[in-house]
Structure 1
Amino acid sequence: MAESCSNFDFGIKSDDEDLYVEESVELEVGFKSVIVVDNLPVVPRARFDKLDKVLRKRFSQYGVIKDNGFWMPVEEDSGKTRGYCFIEYNTPQEAELAKNEANKSPLGTYKMSTNMFDEINMFMNVLDEWAPPEARPYTPGENLQHWLGDEKGRDQFVICSGSDTEVLWNDARQVKADPVYKRTFWSESFVQWSPLGTYLATVHRQGVAVWGGAASFNQLMRYVHPQVKLIDFSPGEKYLVTYSSHEPSNPRDTQ
């Protein structure tokens, strides 16, 4: 409808076009908060309201559903539901929680299949013909335990002083330790070695960053956890646990 009307605008831009563009942008951004629920009962028009009420009550326990954020399409001829619906939450975190939890318990005898709208859109755009992925050449990274091969058999230690954080060689035979790496404003709280000395973790308001390397200490991974207070590595360095006593602004926040 909007395209056909634009053919007769006589070169004059309508004020309605601005409103249409703004609404489209808002909907596009909101797709991350939309889930698609499939394998629902197919019911006639007379039972539509009952199913609508049951689904709204069921999915409201995972988050706040937006106004006009629930849509269950029906067939035009028969008036029966099509077996799926769309639900839009206030936040992507609530939608992610609904997707993960709704599939664990069936709706009566119906085992629902819940997915993010963005995932469905991605699957629909998959090419019909398969093409092998492009092979990437192997580029070896730095040896994260390079310090174990030190000719003098030294360990490394880290010092935080003011805004500076410095890694140095530990050698009791020298009055002044040899520097390895130094960086300003590297951490906002504290730093911590992993149990085997493979990684050095820095703690920030947004989360934790893990670093490693022979001498450059490149960033290897980031873990988002706002207001993190404590961290701990597993003995084999395969897992990192973060803890925060900060109350999230959204109580349903999965973080």
Structure 2
Amino acid sequence: MKIITKISESREEINIFRCVGKRIGFVPTMGYLHEGHLSLVKKCREENDIVVVSIFVNPTQFGAGEDFERYPKDMKNDTDMLQKAGVDFLFAPSAEEMYPTGSSTTISVSGVSDGLCGSSRPGHFDGVALVVTKLLNIIMPNKAYFGMKDYQQLQVIKRFVTDLNMNTKIIGMPIVREADGLAMSSRNVYLNSEERKSALCLSRSFALVHEAIEGGETEVSEVKHIVESFIKDHPHTRIDYAQFVDPETLKPVKDLSRDFLLALAVYVGKTRLIDNNLFKVM
């Protein structure tokens, strides 16, 4: 595996393979890797000739008071994991490399970015859209892989890739969970033992929704009350949002008679966790 820190070198190295018809796969990450990230790398390895992974903690997607400065990092462990996973190139640029002095371009995606985390974290998806656009322009992959835990992020990326006629296919990959159901996240490391137990309320709330739907309940307000009450009964929790939305538009649904997504953002202690589940209604 070759580690590259410069944009120019990345383009030169990867273009060698592109010019001879090799398919390029790409997995963007912010590092502190876990099995969720590795599931993306594995799929990328299966479907492409050349696998590129990036590690870059993107400053433009963090708001004031968020955890940019303390976001967990372990480059040595990340490098070892990617080496074992058969990655060809690791692109690990500095902030100065990605955002040279004088940069003034922004990218804003309306609609799918408006609610959920878009409301809770103003400007977050502008930062995501900008950095992913830059990374796709640098790597120019045939396919890029993103986890569905960040469901809204995935929809935002699909939207601007389509709107800007970018020649990369965006692949959404299933959420990878711990044995007890907690969605894998680099931020889970922030949780102490008691908070870790309470964090299970996110994934376990999905079973309550299934029970309500199977029992014939279609009123959003009723099922939302069940979910919120369950989460609030756990110590150390504070709900940012619990929203029932259309899987494509991410707009709130009026009832639960058609397919819907339950999207959750919950503070457990000081740690903000997100999770979601797509419900198929027969």
TM-score for the superposition, normalised by structure 2: 0.22
Q: Which has the higher strand share?
A: 1
Q: Which has the larger radius of gyration?
A: 1
Q: Which has the higher helix share?
A: 2
The higher relative CO (CA closer than 8 Å, separation ≥ 6) is in 2
